[in-house]
Chain A
Amino acid sequence: MKLWARMLWALLSGPGGRSGGIRGLAFSSWKSHPPLAGLLSPTGLVSHWTRVFEKRGIPEARESSEYIVAHVLGAKTFQSLKPVLRTQPLTPQQLQCIQVLCSRRLQRVPVQYILGEWDFRGLSLKMVPPVFIPRPETEELVEWVLEEVAQRPNVVEAQGGPLILEVGCGSGAISLSLLSQLPQSQVIAVDKEEAAIDLTYENAQRLRLQDRIQIIPFDVTSVGSWTHLLPWGPMDLIVSNPPYVFHHDMEQLAPEIRSYEDPVALDGGEEGMDIITRILTLAPQFLKDSGSIFLEVEPRHPELVSNWLQSHPDLCLNLVAIRRDFCGRPRFLHVQRSGP
């Protein structure tokens, strides 16, 4: 059997997997090009791996294979690939690469970690486990902040602004999006995990935004350490997508999340409020008068946060607006500081 056909057989069968008809087809018709060429085209590979993923119960079977194949071809999505490229045979190296990446998907590794990169509001960010993967909803949090900033030009300082604090920066998605859209802004980005600090720094450099961001290891729950941030000055805004999953919901998370993402970035305690309330408690010390806090939260939180703020009037914080995400769920809160 020719080396080429042997490779084809190995590549299509997957680790320990059975490809049945595909294997048979490879054996009997490797001499005739048209069916083989179709099989080894991007479209053919996507169909093949979609079936493999479906059989193994991998969620988003089609999307996963499309992203992996597109990535190997240098494209961000399968649909953005030129149609003519979709039917051309792939090289053995490309096939090998797809094989390796798809095997990882069979282990339920999230696509973003497999590709090692993902987009957030058009910015390309490096992704490294276990640093939290930015969610699509969070793009809207940034959108809201930008709208609010645009409506209040007095927020911008004489030497540029606004000055923004991000709590729990993860991969740097929120901070770097804001920096790229607000050329005069400065960001203090904090996270309690070293891996997140490193990744945010790397992404800042990739995007050439490192001059306007300070990335500081900081645990918002540790008592007293917040004084380290005070020298950076009172902030115009605090933004955060804090861990907000209810603790008892953690075990119901999909394997992709449970096995590969840092639980510390997700678990918000019994009612998912631990980090949220901590941010709100500290906020008045960091915020200018009439400064704003923008949070992404769990749909059950607006009520809980409202009640909590009412029982802590000394903070002088008011929940001024709630915004829904693209699925219609209450997802974002705007809390404002009212005076000293």
Chain B
Amino acid sequence: MSISGLFRFPAPLTRLCRVPQGLGLWEKLTLLSPRIAATVVQMAGKKDCPALLPLDENELEEQFVKGHGPGGQATNKTSNCVVLKHIPSGIVVKCHQTRSVDHNRKLARKILQEKVDVFYNGENSPVYKEKREAAKKKQDRKKRAKETLEKKKLLKQLWESSKNSTEKNH
């Protein structure tokens, strides 16, 4: 009996397609699959933030451990580095952040998606916008802190000088 009809192929890790506008990034991605939510890039949660360019699995080339051997119980490999290439742009990402092949695959896709977006969108990429916003916020915080400090100094000086003048008058 042929068993060829029994094969199931696991859903690709990311299969981000164009989805209806009006939804926030997070909602868009969780609609497609609960598992894809795990691969959502850091910009998720910002309702008015445009989505990153989607990655098509067919345009990706993935490489795991070379010479994996028979695999499974017959092998004990610790190298689970994932090398992921985006064929149209030629961008390659190497991920060995975690000890899990599965996590490295997801992380590699996340990093690759950001790089590919920057490649095509340049400075307009949400990746850069996010960085600029973060840098600006940091600058604003520093500025405010500095201003507050100066105000305190000024108040202190006024307090000191009013004390002195009161003493002189007595």
Contacts and interface: CB of A to CB of B under 8 A. Distances in A.
Contacts of B76: 110, 112, 133, 135, 254, 256-257, 261
- Interface-centre pick from A118, A137, A321, A326 (highest chain B CB count, 10 A): A326
A86 interface: no
B8 A136 contact: no
B73 A245 contact: yes
A139 B75 contact: no
B102 A139 contact: yes
Interface in B74-132: 74-80, 95-103, 105
B20 interface: no
A78 B100 CA distance: 14
A296 interface: yes
B78 A135 contact: no
A143 B10 CA distance: 10
B78 A63 contact: yes
Q: Classify chain B's interface size.
A: 20 to 34
Interface residues of A, number: 59
Nearest to B105: A326
Contacts of A79: 95-97
Interface in A249-263: 249, 253-254, 256-257, 261
Contacts of B159: none
Contacts of A120: 100
A27 B36 CA distance: 55
A279 to B, nearest CB: 15
B6 A326 contact: no
A327 B64 CA distance: 8
A112 B99 CA distance: 11
B72 A244 contact: yes
Contacts of B7: 321-324, 330
A135 B18 CA distance: 37
B71 interface: yes
Interface string A256-291: 110001000110000000000000000000000000
Interface in A299-340: 299, 302-303, 306-307, 310, 319-327, 329-331
A135 B72 contact: yes
Contacts of B1: 306-307, 310
B10 to A, nearest CB: 7
Contact of A119 (B8, B9, B74, B100): B100
Interface string B34-77: 10000000000000000000000000000010001011111111
A111 B101 CA distance: 16
Contacts of A294: none
Contacts of A219: none
A232 B115 CA distance: 52
Contacts of B102: 121, 139-140, 143
A298 interface: yes
A244 B96 CA distance: 29
Contacts of A143: 10, 102
Given A77-B97, A330-B7, A60 B77 contact: yes
Contact of B100 (A111, A139, A296): A139
A67 B103 CA distance: 17
Interface string A67-102: 100000000111110000000000000000000000
A203 to B, nearest CB: 16
A253 B69 CA distance: 10
A30 B5 CA distance: 67
A326 B101 contact: yes
A329 B64 CA distance: 14
Given A121-B100, A306-B1, A321 B71 contact: no
A120 B80 CA distance: 12
B72 A298 contact: yes
A63 B73 contact: no
Contacts of B103: 122
Interface in A230-258: 241, 243-245, 249, 253-254, 256-257
Interface of A: 60, 63-64, 67, 76-80, 110-112, 118-122, 132-133, 135-137, 139-140, 143-144, 150, 241, 243-245, 249, 253-254, 256-257, 261, 265-266, 296, 298-299, 302-303, 306-307, 310, 319-327, 329-331
Enumerate the 9 nearest inter-chain pairs by beta-carbon distance, A residue then B residue, closest first.
Answer: A119-B99, A63-B79, A79-B96, A136-B101, A322-B6, A321-B8, A111-B78, A306-B3, A323-B8
12 contacts: A60-B77, A77-B96, A110-B78, A122-B100, A132-B73, A144-B10, A261-B76, A266-B74, A306-B3, A321-B6, A327-B71, A329-B71
